[in-house]
């Protein structure tokens, strides 16, 4: 199964170049040229990751994309792509998990994307496992787990 990425940037040359690089490396890539277009795609499709430029229609349009991505039930990994790395840590507070600074070399970009996807999937699995462990502990205390084990 190919991992799906939504790539958002208002600079067509960057959008098409990154799309080609990612597709050549096994990703399925959907593109959007604005935060508004990205919003429609986030609501219509599921993505493993969203990479968005910061400055598009507004100086902080990328944050709008990140905030909407974080609200989706499919919970994609999120990254801000910017030529202006002086964002401080605001990008973390807005929900982005990574900051990619333009220009970024192909190998470095792919390494950062792979790393973020692995970390994000690990975190998602930990969140899913924690309630299961808690439920098992409650069942154990109530004696239901021992009954289930004997019966099964």
CATH code, 103: 3.40.50.2300
Q: Is residue 120 part of a domain?
A: yes
Identify the pLDDT of residue 127: 64
* Closest alpha carbon to 81 in 50, 111, 58: 50
Residue 81 within a domain = yes
The owner of tokens 């994307």 is 113
pLDDT at 151: 40
Number of domains in the chain: 1
Q: What pLDDT does residue 152 have?
A: 39
Tell me if 50 is assigned to some domain. yes
Q: Coil, strand, or helix at residue 116?
A: helix
Domain encompassing residue 11: 4-126
Determine the pLDDT at residue 150. 37
Per-residue pLDDT at 86? 65
First-to-last CA distance in the chain?
Answer: 34
**pLDDT value, residue 148:** 39
Q: Is residue 75 part of a domain?
A: yes
151 falls within a domain: no
Tokens (6 digits) for 106: 């192909």
Q: How far is CA 49 from the centre of its chain?
A: 3
Look at residue 137 and tell me if it is in a domain.
no
Residue 96 lies inside a defined structural domain of this protein: yes
Per-residue pLDDT of the chain (152 residues; tens, 9 = 90+): 789 999 999 999 999 999 999 999 999 999 999 999 999 999 999 999 999 999 999 988 999 999 999 999 999 999 998 887 665 667 787 888 888 888 878 898 899 999 999 898 888 777 655 554 444 444 554 444 433 333 43
Residue 141 belongs to some domain of the structure: no
Would you say the C-alpha torsion 58, 37, 15, 110 has a positive or negative sign? Answer: positive
Q: Rounded to whole angstroms, how far apart are CA atoms 54 and 79?
A: 10
């Amino acid at each position: 199964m190919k991992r799906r990425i939504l790539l958002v940037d208002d600079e067509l040359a960057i959008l098409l170049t990154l799309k080609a690089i990612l597709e050549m490396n096994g990703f399925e890539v959907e593109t959007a040229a604005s935060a508004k277009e990205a919003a429609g795609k986030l609501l219509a499709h599921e993505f493993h990751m969203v990479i968005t430029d910061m400055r598009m229609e507004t100086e902080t349009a990328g944050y709008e994309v990140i905030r909407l991505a974080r609200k989706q039930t499919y919970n994609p990994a999120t990254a801000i792509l910017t030529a202006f790395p002086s964002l401080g840590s605001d990008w973390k507070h807005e929900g982005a998990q990574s900051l990619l600074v333009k220009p970024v070399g192909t190998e470095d970009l792919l390494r950062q994307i792979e790393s973020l996807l692995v970390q994000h999937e690990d975190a998602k699995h930990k969140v899913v496992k924690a309630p299961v462990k808690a439920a098992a502990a409650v069942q154990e205390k109530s004696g239901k787990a021992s009954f289930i084990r004997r019966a099964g």
